[in-house]
Amino acid sequence: MRKRVRSQVLAAIVIGAMLGVPLTGEAGQGRGRGRSQQKQARASQDDGGRRGNASRVSQDPATSKGYDAGHERGLTDGREGQRYDPVRHRDYRDADRGYESAYGSRDGYQTNFRSGFRQGYEDGYREGTRAR
């Protein structure tokens, strides 16, 4: 019985280590403020320092590239007082910036790129209008 429990505990520790889950005693990072600070730092890294919608941007290259392109266009449009219209931009219509055949079908890439572009455009436009 003891061997089985010990094996299960050891397996949980090994799996946790592989997934990057800290032990509760490690540097006080169990529950509480430490974990929330880790999440904020990760979110800030994931969205290139932009706050707010890091959870909406996936690691998919098409979505990420679309987000970056859309954010850039939205920021410019917001700062210049242009109307909110992500569809008018060629990058959105073509939706193939950064495409490589290794990413899969062009249609799938374009769908994800446009999705990321719309979200990035919205975030950038909002930031740009605040800066005016």
**Where are the chain's structural domains?**
2-46, 54-131
Strands (E), 45-95: none
Residue 24 DSSP code: T
Amino acid at 91: D
SS3 of residue 81 by DSSP? coil
The total number of residues written for the chain in this structure: 132
Per-residue pLDDT reduced to its tens digit, 30-79: 444 444 444 444 444 444 444 445 444 557 999 999 999 999 999 999 99
Alpha carbons 16 and 57: distance in angstroms, whole number:
25
Name the pTM for this structure. Answer: 0.57
Alpha carbons 130 and 132: distance in angstroms, whole number:
6
